């Protein structure tokens, strides 16, 4: 059989069900791939070969015993290091949690284990999910498989790069302002931010609790749908969890892959395009719209005027929530502890020394912004005003849904920029998420699907947005677009990615 790592997750699952492949073989193939290329990509903070192979053996044994297994049983997966994993380090890309070993699994991780998906390892990320390039990881940057001198997006660049480099067929990420969708766009993968509350956040280390959402990453729409259905559903441990049926993502994806979008109303968001967007990004976006039109979808422009204020509103709400959430890292209960080198050793001095040493520059910047926005005398002027803008953005979406079924835009204004290019310009970095942020402020679902290569031969993402609880629309439209474009290209986009150089090997538990 040809390279197993190049197969889609749905095809892997079929071969496993038919007895043509074992989970041990499949997992070992991915571990070998990680060994060969992750020294160059650095998608993983730690790999777990022994544990993954043990889980694969258990999946094979369960199948041999005739158990009725979930659709993805035996298919390996990578997990963003912001999700708690019992008995395994969970660092959030930060020195302050470098040696933290949770006593529990996040709900989504527990679901993976119960469904017999071998966990290959934990993926790199911007520290506490704060960043758009995965350069803010305390353990070094991840590199884009398309060009190792460029960023893989952030904060979930490790998950997207692992999938894009064929190190894992599936991955979990988290999305607070675009941290699944923007990395998917710049790595040529598919990423989905589900409706807020549709996937449990229990065990997700919080950055901004009203914005954070766990979601799937894969190489095609059907694979993403299969993972979405596996991790979705109500969780009594999460007070924000929706007590509703899981979205019928797989049926919708298959409907879309058959080209069924005739009569669907598609709205182009006027405010998410034009000035500041790379020419090649806009060209690929327009071509993708043409494919949807040819399939019978109607396309019209929609104005969402409050979107122009989404970025400043987000950068008041998110840091405010982050400053509150990160206050728990006090050096007293768990995580890093650093005693002051001079002066008295008190709770205050230990906290100060620990946070100074444990938090990186971007995390400190956002904590300071958030603390200031919440401070006496400024709360109403900053945080309160930002929440009012959030309401206006939600109203813009509600008005749009009266006219169209889905909204679309480029996922990111540009293709992947070079490592280091924007590190000294935080505002330029923040603008990478200008098209994705409104989704989180409104709590609606969003998808990024590849729509071609720009003039620099780097991937472009096409963003699809749907009303809350209507996640299935993403998969229908995304599937139709994917099928049309792959027919036009003759192969999936990732088949056109350049080969990766081999790098040094990685070892079990090897946080760098």
Q: Where are the beta strands (DSSP E) in 323-422?
A: 406-410
Q: Decide if 174 is catalytic.
A: no
**Strands lying side by side in the sheet with 44-47:** 44-47, 119-123, 77-80, 170-174, 214-218, 190-193, 446-453, 459-465, 406-410, 265-269, 298-302
Q: Active site residue: 94, 133, 155, 409, which one?
A: 155
C-alpha to C-alpha distance for 440 and 78, rounded to whole angstroms: 24
Per the residue annotation, which of 23, 132, 133, 179 is the catalytic one?
Answer: 179
CA–CA dist 220, 158 (Å, integer): 18
179 is catalytic: yes
What does the alpha-carbon distance between residue 420 and residue 398 come to, in Å, rounded to a whole number?
Answer: 39
Residue 339: left if φ>0, alpha if ψ -120 to 50, beta else—which one?
Answer: beta
Q: Are strands 214-218 and 170-174 parallel, antiparallel or unpaired?
A: antiparallel
Q: Does residue 23 carry a catalytic annotation?
A: no
Report d(CA 475, CA 383) in Å as an integer: 35
Q: List Cβ neighbours of 129 (8 Å cut-off, separation of 6 or more).
A: 82, 92, 93, 155, 156, 174, 176, 179, 207, 212
Taking the C-alpha atoms of residue 137 and residue 58, their distance in angstroms, rounded to an integer, is 34
* Whole-angstrom distance, CA of residue 112 vs CA of residue 203: 13
Structure tokens at 13: 């699952």
Q: Which of 22, 23, 80, 133 is catalytic?
A: 80
Give catalytic residues, as residue numbers.
80, 155, 179
């Amino acid at each position: 059989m040809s390279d197993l790592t190049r197969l889609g997750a749905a095809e892997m699952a079929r071969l496993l069900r038919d007895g043509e492949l074992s989970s041990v073989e499949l997992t070992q193939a991915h571990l070998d791939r990680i060994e060969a290329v992750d020294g160059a990509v650095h998608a993983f903070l730690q790999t777990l070969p022994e544990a993954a192979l043990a889980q694969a053996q258990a999946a094979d044994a369960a199948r041999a015993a005739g158990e009725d297994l979930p659709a993805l049983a035996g298919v390996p997966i990578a997990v963003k290091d912001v999700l708690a994993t019992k008995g395994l380090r969970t660092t959030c890309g930060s020195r302050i949690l470098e040696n933290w070993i949770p006593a529990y699994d996040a709900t989504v991780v527990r679901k993976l284990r119960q469904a017999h998906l071998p966990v290959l390892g934990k993926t790199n990320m911007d520290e506490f999910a704060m960043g758009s390039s995965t350069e803010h990881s305390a353990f070094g940057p991840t590199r884009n498989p398309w060009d190792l001198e460029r960023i893989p997006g952030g904060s979930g660049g490790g998950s997207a790069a692992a999938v894009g480099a064929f190190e894992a067929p599936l991955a979990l990420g988290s999305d607070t302002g675009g941290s699944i969708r923007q990395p998917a766009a710049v790595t040529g993968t598919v990423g989905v931010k589900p409706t807020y509350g549709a996937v449990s956040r229990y065990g997700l280390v919080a950055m901004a609790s009203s914005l954070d959402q766990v979601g799937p990453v894969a190489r095609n729409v059907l694979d993403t749908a299969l993972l979405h259905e596996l991790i979705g559903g109500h969780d009594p441990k999460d007070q924000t969890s929706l007590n509703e049926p899981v979205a019928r993502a797989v049926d919708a994806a298959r409907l879309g892959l058959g080209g069924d979008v005739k009569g669907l109303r598609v709205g182009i968001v006027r405010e998410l395009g034009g000035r500041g967007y790379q020419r090649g990004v806009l060209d690929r976006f327009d071509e993708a719209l043409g494919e949807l039109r040819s399939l019978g979808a109607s396309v019209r422009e929609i104005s969402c005027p409050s979107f122009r204020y989404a970025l400043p509103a987000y950068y008041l709400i998110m840091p405010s929530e982050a400053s509150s959430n990160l206050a728990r890292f006090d050096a007293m209960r768990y995580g890093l502890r650093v005693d002051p080198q001079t002066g008295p050793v008190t709770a205050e001095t230990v906290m100060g020394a620990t946070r100074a040493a444990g938090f990186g520059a971007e995390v400190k910047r956002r904590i300071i912004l958030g603390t200031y926005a919440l401070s006496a005398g400024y709360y109403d002027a900053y945080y309160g005003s930002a929440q009012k803008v959030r309401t206006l953005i939600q109203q813009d979406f509600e008005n749009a849904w009266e006219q169209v079924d889905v909204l679309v835009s480029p996922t990111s204004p540009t293709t992947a920029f070079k490592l280091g290019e924007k590190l000294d310009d935080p505002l330029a970095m923040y603008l990478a998420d200008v098209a994705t942020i409104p989704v989180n402020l409104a709590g609606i679902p969003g998808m990024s699907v590849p729509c071609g290569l720009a003039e620099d031969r780097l991937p472009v993402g096409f963003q699809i947005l749907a009303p809350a609880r209507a996640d299935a629309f993403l998969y229908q439209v995304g599937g139709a677009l994917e099928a049309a474009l792959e027919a036009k290209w003759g192969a999936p986009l990732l088949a056109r990615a350049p080969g990766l150089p081999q790098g040094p090997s990685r070892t079990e538990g090897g946080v760098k």
